[in-house]
């Protein structure tokens, strides 16, 4: 059990590297964060910034070539130190994951209901009949219409959005304390995206689970998260409460991400405006700030010295930027 006020998950100094023929790819570098019981932490950043690798390392679903260090205390145990059997007991039980593409996570040769009830049976001492009843109840909870009939259908008989609902049903089947959702709506079209986000909101209300919501889309985060954590080139670049990030970001990279949120009702194009330039190689990091070549605010110092993740005010808001305290108010920079 958690002590009152204790974090549900506390990650400290997480490093994940991949040995490749070209050298060590540093996919996650010195990442520390916490998730409190019941809260939603959004993890955002461009492609390749280390979001998924962070989540997979916590779940021990990373490839064997990974070199990992750090600690990840969950409910009093260090996930990174758990053996395979203990980790299997955690996975799908107290921590569950929802992936981007439910088709890869669902097995095409078994019915959706069979797969969810197997998940129920794996962690509970109940009869098959009770597991099936629970399955129908779960499908109903995530808004699958006619859940009793739908349970007997195969994944290909479900639409993309319905499959993602089924995945969410499976993920919450054992009342997890933490739900890790990695780009849960990226593969879906915009209206279905909104529905699936709504389902996630509903199930969180129902189960009280905390959530780590991984997305490259800051636009999705606004109504859905309590805190935001921005990653760039394997590192944390900024972390804070949602308002601190959206209205008082102290980091040029976050600001660039905010500037690239598509604004459907403005004259700006609906397509995602990408940040000019590319993220750096993770093979041989240069000594300065990895965002320096793309940064509109860069100064001499940024070439030589990696900024530390500095506390802005209070313990909630941190930014990795030499100019964190000096940046103009965000309202003057963004439309």
Q: Which stretch binds Mg ion (CB under 5 A): 25-33, 51-59, 80-88, 110-118?
A: 51-59
Residue 170 φ/ψ, nearest 5 degrees: -65, -40
- Binding partner of residue 256 among ligand ATP, Mg ion, none, CB under 5 to 8 Å per kind? none
Cα–Cα distances (Å) from 286 to 21, 171, 217, 224, in that order, read 20, 40, 27, 35
Among Mg ion, ligand ATP, none, partner that 49 touches (CB below 5 to 8 angstroms by kind): ligand ATP
Question: Which range in 50-58, 67-75, 223-231, 285-293 contacts Mg ion by CB under 5 A?
Answer: 50-58
The residue among 55 and 292 lying less far from Mg ion, judged by its C-beta, is 55
265: Cβ contacts below 8 Å, ≥ 6 apart: none
The one of ligand ATP, Mg ion, none whose footprint includes residue 240, by CB under 5 to 8 A per kind, is none
Can you tell me the distance from the alpha carbon of 39 to that of 318, in angstroms, rounded to the nearest whole number? 18
Question: Shortest gap between Cβ of 43 and ligand ATP (angstroms)?
Answer: 8
CA-to-CA separations, 12 to 29, 32, 69, 72, 273, in angstroms, rounded = 11, 4, 9, 6, 33
| Interface residues toward ligand ATP, by CB under 6 A | 18, 20, 25, 27, 45, 47-53, 63, 65, 216, 282
Please say which residue, 132 or 253, places its beta carbon nearer to ligand ATP: 253
- Residue 280 DSSP class: P
Q: Is residue 43 a contact partner of residue 53, using CB atoms and an 8 Å limit?
A: no
Task: Find the binder of Mg ion among 52, 111, 117, 173 (CB under 5 A).
Answer: 52
CB 238 within 8 A of CB 254: yes
Residue 96 touches which of ligand ATP, Mg ion, none (CB < 5 to 8 A by kind)? none
Which residues of the chain form contacts with Mg ion (CB under 5 A)? 52
């Amino acid at each position: 059990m958690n002590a009152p006020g204790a974090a549900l998950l506390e990650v400290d100094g997480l490093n994940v590297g991949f040995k490749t023929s070209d050298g060590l790819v540093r996919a996650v570098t010195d990442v520390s964060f916490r998730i409190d019981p019941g809260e939603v932490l959004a993890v955002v950043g461009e492609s390749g910034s280390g979001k998924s690798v962070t989540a997979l390392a916590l779940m021990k679903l990373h490839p064997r070539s990974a070199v990992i260090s750090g600690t990840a205390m969950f409910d009093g145990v260090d996930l990174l130190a758990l053996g395979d059997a203990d980790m299997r007991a955690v996975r799908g039980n107290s921590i569950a994951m929802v992936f981007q593409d439910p088709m890869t996570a669902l097995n095409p040769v078994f019915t959706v209901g069979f797969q969810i009830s197997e998940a129920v049976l794996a962690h509970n001492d109940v009869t098959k009949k009770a597991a099936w009843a629970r399955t129908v109840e779960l499908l109903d909870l995530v808004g699958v219409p006619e859940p009793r009939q739908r349970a007997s259908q195969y994944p290909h008989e479900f639409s993309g959005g319905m499959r993602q609902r089924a995945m969410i049903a499976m993920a919450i089947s054992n009342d997890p304390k933490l739900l890790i959702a990695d780009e849960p709506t990226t593969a879906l079209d915009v209206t279905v995206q909104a529905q699936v986000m709504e389902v996630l909101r509903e199930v969180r209300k129902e189960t009280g689970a905390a959530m780590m919501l991984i997305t490259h889309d800051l636009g999705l985060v606004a109504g859905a998260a309590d805190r935001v954590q921005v990653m760039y080139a394997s590192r944390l670049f900024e972390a804070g409460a949602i308002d601190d990030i959206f209205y008082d970001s102290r980091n040029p990279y976050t600001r660039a991400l905010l500037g690239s949120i598509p604004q459907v009702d403005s004259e700006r194009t609906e397509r995602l405006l990408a940040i000019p330039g590319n993220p750096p190689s993770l093979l041989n990091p240069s000594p300065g700030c990895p965002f320096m070549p793309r940064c509109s605010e860069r100064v001499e110092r940024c070439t030589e010295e990696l900024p530390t993740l500095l506390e802005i005010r209070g313990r909630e808001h941190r930014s990795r930027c030499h100019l964190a305290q000096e940046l103009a108010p965000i309202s003057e920079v963004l439309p």
